[in-house]
Amino acid sequence: MVAPIYIIATLLGVAFGLGLFGKKMNSSAGFLSLLALGFASFISLEWLAGFWLYDRAAEYIYTAGFQPPFSINLLMGKEEALFTSLINVAGFFGAVYLWDKLKKIGSNGYVTLMGMILGLNVIIMTRDLFNLFVFLEISSIATAGLIIFSQNLKTIAAGFKYMLATGIISGILLLGIIFMYYFTGTLNIDDFLAVHSLSVKGFGVAVFFVLISIVLELKPFPANGWGLDVYESADSGIAALISAGTATASFFVMYKLLPLGTPQFHMVLAGIGLATFIGSNLMGLKQTNPNRLLGYSSIGQVGLLVTILGLSEFLGDRTTFIAYSILISHFLAKAGLFWISGIVKRSSIKEWAVLRNNRLLMILFGVFVFTLIGFPPFPSFFGKWDMMLQLASSNQYFWIIGVLLGSLLEGVYLFRWLGYALKLDNAELPSFEVKWNKVLPVVVFGAATFVIGYFVSSIHPYAKVINYIPLAVALAFVLIDFLPVYVKNTLAILAMAYYYYYLYPTLSSFGAVFGAIFMVGGIVTLIAGYAYKGQRRGFYPFALMMFAGLIGLIEAKTTIAFFYAWEVMTVGSYFLIIRGKKSMPHALSYMIFSMGGAYLMLAGFAIASVGQFNLDMSTLSHVLVYPTWVFILLAVGFMTKTASLGLHIWLPGAHAEAETDVSPMVSAILLKAGVFGLVTLFLAMGDQLIGGDVSVIYLLGWLGAITAVMGNLMAAFQEDAKRLLAYSSVGVLGYILFGLSLMSHLGWLSAISISVTHFMFKSLLFLAIGGVVWRVKTKEMYRMGGLIKRMPFSFFSVLIGIIVLAGLPPLSGFSGKWIFYNAIMMKQWYLQGALIFFSGIVAFLYVFRLIHTVFLGQLKDEHREVKEAPFWLLVPQYMIIGVLLYFSAIPNSLLKPIGKIITPYFPVGALEWTGQHATSTYGYWNGLVIFYIVITIFLVALVWLIINNRRAQKVKQFNIVFAAERPFKPETSHYAYNFYAHYRKALGILVEPKITGWWEGVAEWAHAAGDKFRKIYNGDGQTYMVHIMAFIVIIYLISFGGF
């Protein structure tokens, strides 16, 4: 293996050579520099491979042939190999990215870059404290030089502030080194570690000076204004090197010097890191400059890493895994994002819609965003998971809350940025130039996120049980995204069908029910995809990703596998939702609530793991600490997907603005993920008590009943047909939550059967109304009307759907009402039951409005030539209608199997079946007889009408008098707008958007707070120096309890 000293020799030799020959070497300076950086990368990677594959021993390198203290010693161990590899790879690809800029600058630019990389390598490997100081200075000077190579006022000012700040920091560091040498007589770090407990206050102060200087290099809040100005003003290629290179090296220095600090300082360090993580992300909320925004994110991520170091006492032997997985994710993603920013060259994140002109960069931008936030399959997902579990096992709940809050804040502005890039208009934005040397580093780092993510999962002790096959199939569709829709749609349906065939024998209990909803439902809704033409790029990978996540939920045997699948499902559904034309704000709302819910689940799973020997889902059945809190955290997390009242505000817009076939996917199928989570939770943990006497499930029962009423009321007052159906889902999910909360056989029978029928009738209605919108080009019901003759098949679909939804006989919705009645009587929840049945009356109001305003009444002039919905939208509708009619006529085909699944858990109160005749404690019901009776009455009435009206004169549209006048336009006689104005006067106060307003107030407060904190960064270098000195004094007082 090549000796590590050749990293230094090569970089130093080439840099001196270029400097010595000056302009004579300009033509070949770039190639020589790339060769030098490539060779340095090879040495580091070779050593890293040797440590990893062959478990070789660490090696000391001594300069000048002498032992310390007469020489400087370097160490190449496994950690040094990793960090030098990161630095050198960043340097190599950074040089590739900066090729044009450095070529324009000349050999001086290459010399400065290699000086920076050389300095970072040495500070990683050195075991000599003064040597550390020297090469920190070298790297700082080189970094400042790279910053000011861009000749403009902002970069020169930023470079000057950078030199001021690093000058003060270096002075503090040198002062600490001098006093440490005074007390110990050595500069060797290993010697310091041997005597770090020296009981002399002066030595402790000296150590403090050394450590605080390294902390300041990491740009802690609020002493980091100079760093933010650098990120904003420097060339994006240089900013990438500072974020990925300098920050990484400084972090490692803190890692190897931290053992010198006291346990008290460790906690102070953790506090500094957490304050930086939360503070930076809070201030990033209102930032619109992309590079400064990335600066906030970079400082915040480094703050999280500092927090991890400070909490190493609680993280134990998982500290290294946690830190490295998050660090590498930050390293790859932040470098990639800065590089993309340099390619796009836009001063506002709202102008990043231009990125859609380059599909590859758009994909990589999304990859880096999800990597930073910590979604699977990227390394940071596993790091954050382990961090939460370790903190929970040590009862460090304050830190859990802080880390998750900071992560949520970061997600808000990153997903807002991603939404701008995906959805804002880019027609008037000028295109940007894409050069191969700038794209290559981005592609390499983007691919590395997946490779390292897979590697991290392979070494994680519990990640090996995760089934990656469905996700791999979804990602494979990215490679065939150029194919036409009908080919991809067919392949997607075949993939789903095959996997369901493979999985079906392994499914049991509730997994079988929800497996059918997720997979059979997915196949049925995918059939509608044949209605689209062209390629429909981006749809199928994310549709299958969502279904892969849903499949993973029912396959999950461990909590990490469940959470992994939940996050995969969220990613896929986000990209499906944001495809809608006006869906950008709603997709952002969806992701914010999804992240919030996921973090609550993460905290719940972490607390549930305390004292357990494994992460099996069965551990939820015997939670050892804070079981009530675990239950609440998980329940609220699941309810963000079921859109319970208070957590519902994302749903109406997300479902209403989605594409025609996406709406049933997210409304009829995706919401059942939350239901499945609640089923799993309720069965595992049962009821929990607050304060020893207040039942959590009882409170959830009230929440479900109120959600049903409010969801249906809000639906009744909508003018948008799809928004009406979206609010309807809120109401139906309220029924399901209420049924589960009854914790009885009939309560669960109603909840699970409604889950199945809701999938069917909501898919039916969304596809039918979606077909209408497809043809008439509007979702506003008052702009429709009289479409029964133009779209009869869609009318029949809506008719069947609303009969089921309203719970009218003879269809299956009526059986749900009857079971609900019996369950409520047995539980004696009369007040909640009254709300449930009142909500059913309200449901009838909005379903009548839906069919009347769209299909009945007067046909508009512009709709006289409207055609029926596309054939492929009708096919899944009539498949669903056939199943609904079968379940309605033969109800025990659905209810009896579900009852058998429920009986082992709730044996008391089950229905007794005799054929289609069901008997309960409070009565009996025969669905088949009711079906026959209603159909017979309908046919008799129909025949009577035909016979008696056979000679009736057909009245044409305007052969009428309306309000004593003959109407001249359909709009004047079609009553549809503000349909329930009289009810709004009485009940409108109940549906005023108070909850939405409250959440908007929270968001506004957070943005205002972040904006307020940002004002401390006024751009004045002297002020920033005061911040640094004040920071040192305050941290000193906290660490030592005074002077």
Count the neighbouring beta carbons within 10 Å of the beta carbon of residue 484. 12
10 Å Cβ neighbour count for 325?
A: 27
Q: Is a pLDDT exceeding 90 seen at residue 396?
A: yes
Of the listed ranges 28-37, 144-153, 1025-1034, the least confidently predicted one is 144-153
Q: Which amino acid is at 175?
A: L
Lowest mean pLDDT among 467-471, 599-603, 631-635: 467-471
- Inform me whether the pLDDT recorded for 467 exceeds 90: no
DSSP assigned state of 686: -
Poorest-confidence range of 210-214, 671-675, 977-981? Answer: 977-981
| Domain residue ranges of the chain, discontinuous segments joined by + | 463-940
Confidence of residue 53 (pLDDT cuts 50, 70, 90): confident
Name the residue among 883, 904, 750 with its Cα closest to residue 817.
Answer: 750
Burial class of residue 828, CB neighbours in 10 A (0-12, 13-18, 19+): exposed
- Beta strands across the sheet bearing 923-926: 912-914, 917-920, 923-926
DSSP string, 912-932: EEETTEEEETTEEEEHHHHHH
* Per-residue model confidence as pLDDT tens digits over 656-677: 999 999 999 999 999 999 999 9
Q: SS3 breakdown of the chain: % helix, strand, coil, rounded to 5?
A: 75, 5, 20
Per-residue three-class SS string for 387-454: HHHHHHHCCCHHHHHHHHHHHHHHHHHHHHHHHHHHHCCCCCCCCCCCCHHHHHHHHHHHHHHHHHHH
Give the mean pLDDT of the chain.
92
Average pLDDT over residues 972-987: 81
pLDDT at residue 760 is higher than 90:
yes
User: What distance in Å separates the CA atoms of residue 929 and residue 935, rounded to the nearest whole number?
Assistant: 10
Model pLDDT, residue 1039: 87
Q: Distance between CA 479 and CA 498 in Å, rounded?
A: 20
Q: Which of 806, 784, 783 is nearest to 794 (CA)?
A: 784
Q: pLDDT tens digit string along 494-507?
A: 999 999 999 999 99
Flag whether pLDDT at 307 surpasses 70. yes
pLDDT(966) > 70: no
pLDDT at res. 971? 66
* Model confidence pLDDT, tens digit, residues 818-863: 999 999 999 999 999 999 999 999 999 999 999 999 998 888 888 9
- pLDDT score, position 122: 94
Task: Give the pLDDT confidence score for residue 288 in this predicted structure.
Answer: 93
Query: Does the pLDDT of residue 961 top 80, yes or no?
Result: no
**What pLDDT shows up at residue 970?**
66
The pLDDT, as a whole number, for residue 18 is 83
Mean of pLDDT values over 950-958: 71
> By percentage, how much of the chain surpasses pLDDT 70?
96
Give 958's DSSP letter: T
3-state SS class at 188: strand
* Rounded mean pLDDT, 349-368: 93
Q: Tell whether the model's pLDDT for residue 331 goes beyond 60.
A: yes
Q: What is the pLDDT of residues 98-122, one digit of tens each?
A: 998 888 888 888 999 999 999 999 9
What number is the average pLDDT over the span 580-585?
93
Tell me the pLDDT tens digit for each residue of 700-740: 999 999 999 999 999 999 999 999 999 999 999 999 999 99
What's residue 23's pLDDT?
67
What digits encode the pLDDT tens for the residues 57-90? Answer: 888 888 766 777 667 789 999 999 999 999 999 9
- Tell me the helices (H) and strands (E) count for the chain, helix number first: 43, 7
Handedness of CA 476, 481, 482, 487 (dihedral sign): positive
Q: Please state, in angstroms and as integers, the Cα–Cα distance from residue 482 to each residue in 37, 472, 479, 538, following that order.
A: 38, 18, 8, 10
pLDDT tens-digit map of 891-942: 999 999 999 999 999 999 999 999 889 999 888 989 899 999 999 999 999 8
Condensed to tens digits (0 to 9), the pLDDT of residues 265-295 reads 999 999 999 999 999 999 999 999 999 999 9
691 CB-contact burial (10 Å; exposed 0-12 / middle 13-18 / buried 19+): exposed
- 464-490: average pLDDT: 90
pLDDT at 198 over 60: no
E-assigned strand segments in 794-844: none
Tokens (6 digits) for 350: 């709202």
Per-residue pLDDT tens for 235-257? 999 999 999 999 999 999 999 99
621-643: burial string, b at 16+ Cβ within 10 Å, e else: eebeebbbbbbbbbbbbbbbbbb
Mind listing the pLDDT tens digit for each residue in 170-188? 999 999 999 998 888 888 8
% of the chain exceeding 90 in pLDDT: 76
- For residue range 9-18, list pLDDT tens digits in order: 999 999 888 8
